[in-house]
Amino acid sequence: MKKEGSKEGKRVKILTDKQEFEGILIKSYDIKIVLLKLSSGYNIGIEKAKIKKIQVLEKKKKEEFKPKLIKPKAGLPGIAIIVTGGTIASRLDYETGGVKALTKPEEIIAVAPKIQEIAKITTIEIPFTVMSEDITSEKWKKLAKLCERLLNKKENKGLIILHGTDTLHYTAAILSFMLQDLNKPVVLTYAQRSIDRGSSDSLLNLTCSAHAALSDIAEVMLIGHATTNDNFCFALRGTKVRKMHTSRRDTFRPINTKPIATIHEDGKIEKYSEYRKRNVGKVKANLVFDDRVSLIKFHPNSSSKIIDFYRKQGYKGLVIEATGLGHVSTEGKKSWLEAIKRAVKSGMIVCFAPQCLYGSLNPFVYSALRKLYDSGVLFLKDMLPETAYVKLGFLLGKERNKERVKELMLKNLVGEYNPRLTFGDFLV
């Protein structure tokens, strides 16, 4: 067989002894496999040994993507949309097999045209376009500032933010802190599969997001598939949610809490926990974050030098994912206790969050935990490590007084602690 490097990006028909495939050749990293992007959006690998013929097809007439704008109904309530990137705001480019960002309003609305039967889209703003793993504190501030402006406009009843999935829960958490005392719903949503694919989750997620944005829940919440079915979404509190699966559409799970609500395609909302209500106040975003904070994971046999490293780098805060009820090694050559004491003594704020993710830390069970507690470590009970990281960065940016930061770390500001945590809140 010929080298297909030169054919990448071309439309081909591949014949094997048993089947025929049509699609776009894309780069394969296995020399024994030819990789084809099918029109369904899925990639398929075909063993070279089984290929009888590869036929390059005529270049398809470039089908330009021209979504039709439905004329919005009159008298509908207004929603503003912010686009930050991610799969929900992109579609396949069939010429290259790659992914293309959607930037025009009509393209965004075309992801879920039904949204125009629910609300009037007052504006679509794109503060930046970023793969979510590249998001930074600067972008978080920019986003929060834009939220503030849009939330304080009378014409908007709520706000929807389109965002990549990978770090969506970090963004949901930091917005929860930056936009305290909310007046209207701030809804973050996503897609795990782009709109070109039959199994895309964009349509349901965006439809339910519109219902959530018009609801009376004035919280930062993440809206997405509750199950693998296309029938309803969860509304999840921004500080108590985590991406738990690399590819499932119902990847976002509530951790140590119940969903705020389930939201159905037809607009029915069932509520499961208390929430902050919509109000007439103005929102004031707190655009602060101290980057000298890190999140690290304790594991057995690990060196405590990592703590000294951050201390010497001038870090002001550290969140450590501790095992079980809040353990790191405190005995023997691999003990972390001494390095933690040095860090606390130097003025660093050292916090523990649960590596288990589910359940709560409790420093009062074992004597080893009391040693850590006595050394000044803050035990963040049932707070997620990711939420703890953004909260600590936020508070260190906001407060000069370290004792005040410690006090606020342990205080429930925006639902990051669940005071009514029950055993049932596990693997929902």
Contacts of 335 (CB under 8 A, 6+ apart): 304, 329
> Considering beta carbons, is residue 244 or 288 the nearer one to a second copy?
244
Which of positions 357-376 make contact with a second copy (CB under 8 A)?
A: 357-364, 366-368, 370, 373
CB nearer a second copy, residue 132 or residue 209: 132
Nearest to 384 by CA among 363, 349, 407, 414: 414
List 132, 176, 183, 209, residue binding a second copy (CB under 8 A): 132
Please state, in angstroms and as integers, the Cα–Cα distance from residue 38 to each residue in 45, 211, 414, following that order: 10, 34, 45
Pick between residue 156 and residue 171 the one whose CB is nearest to a second copy: 171
Output the smallest distance, CB 29 to a second copy, in A.
Answer: 7
We find the least distance from the C-beta atom of residue 388 to a second copy, in angstroms, to be 11
CB of 200 to a second copy, least distance (A): 15
- Per-residue interface string for the shown chain with a second copy, residues 234-253, x marking contact by CB under 8 A: ---------xxxxxx--x-x
Of 13 and 193, the one with the shorter C-beta distance to a second copy is 193
Residue type for position 407 = E
List the one residue from 232, 389, 394, 417 that touches a second copy (CB under 8 A). Answer: 389
User: Of the listed 165, 167, 262, 387, which one is catalytic?
Assistant: 165
Answer for which of 99, 117, 282, 346 binds a second copy (CB under 8 A) is 99
Separation CA 251–CA 244 (nearest Å): 5
User: What mask, x for binding a second copy by CB under 8 A, covers residues 15 to 44?
Assistant: ------------x-x-----x-------x-
Q: How far is the CB of 354 from a second copy (least distance, A)?
A: 5
Nearer to a second copy, 55 or 335 (CB): 335
What residues between 292 and 321 interact with a second copy by CB under 8 A?
294-303, 305-306, 309, 313, 321
- Tell me if residue 216 is catalytic: no
Catalytic position from the list 16, 122, 166, 406: 166
Active-site residue flag, 243: yes
Tokens found for residue 105: 């309003």
Q: With contacts defined by CB under 8 A, how many residues of the chain interact with a second copy?
A: 81
DSSP assignment, residue 196? T
- Please pick, among 141, 157, 243, 391, the residue that the annotation labels catalytic: 243
- CA-nearest of 213, 174, 162 to 396 is 174
Sign of CA dihedral 244, 246, 250, 252: positive
**Considering the complex, what minimum distance in angstroms separates the CB of residue 306 from a second copy?**
7
Residue given tokens 């992914």 in the structure block: 99
Angle at 315 between CA 311 and CA 320, to 5 degrees: 80
Instruction: Give long-range contacts, CB 8 A cutoff, 24+ apart: 18-25.
Output: 21/46, 22/57, 24/94, 24/95, 24/96, 24/97, 25/97
Judged by CB, which is closer to a second copy: 70, or 421?
Answer: 421
Rounded to 5°, angle at Cα 206 from 175 and 93:
105
Contacting residues for 134 by C-beta, under 8 A, at least 6 apart: none
Q: What is the 3-state secondary structure (H, E, C) of 137-176?
A: HHHHHHHHHHHHHHHCCCCCCEEEEECCCCCHHHHHHHHH
Site for a second copy, residues 171 to 190, rule: CB under 8 A: 171
Q: Quick check: 25 and 12 in contact, CB under 8 A?
A: yes
**Which DSSP string do the residues of 217-243 spell out, in sequence order?**
B-SEEEEEESSSSSSEEEEEETTSEEE
Q: Which of residues 404-423 bind a second copy (CB under 8 A)?
A: 423
13 is catalytic: no
Q: Which of 47, 56, 103, 426 binds a second copy (CB under 8 A)?
A: 426
To the query of whether residue 422 is one of the catalytic residues in this protein, the response is no
Based on CB atoms, which residue is closest to a second copy, 114 or 292?
292
Active site residues: 87, 165-166, 243
